[in-house]
Amino acid sequence: MNLKEQIRDVKDFPKAGIVFKDITTLLKNPEALNYAIDELYLCAKEAGVNKVVGIESRGFILGGAIAAKLGVGFVPVRKPGKLPAETLKETYSLEYGTDTIEIHKDAVSEGDKVLLHDDLLATGGTARAACNLIEKLGGKVAQVSFIIELNFLNGRKAIEGYDIRSLISYDSE
Q: Provide the pLDDT for residue 173.
A: 75
Distance CA 81, CA 104 (A): 11
Q: Provide the pLDDT for residue 55.
A: 98
- Work out how many domains the chain is built from and give that number: 1
Active site residue 58: yes
Active site residue 39: no
Element (DSSP H or E) covering residue 26: helix 24-27
Stretches in the chain below the pLDDT threshold 50: none
Task: Give the contacts of 5 (CB within 8 A, at least 6 positions apart).
Answer: none
Q: Residue 79 belongs to a domain with what CATH number? A: 3.40.50.2020
Q: Which domain holds residue 149?
A: 3-170
Distance CA 115, CA 95 (A): 24
Contact 114, 134 (CB under 8 A): yes
Active-site position among 39, 56, 95, 173: 95
Q: Provide the pLDDT for residue 96.
A: 65
Q: What is the pLDDT of residues 2-38, one digit of tens each?
A: 999 999 999 999 889 889 999 999 999 999 999 999 9
Active-site position among 39, 58, 149, 165: 58
**pTM to 2 decimal places:** 0.95
Distance CA 76, CA 100 (A): 14
Tell me the H-state helices in 45-124.
Answer: 58-70
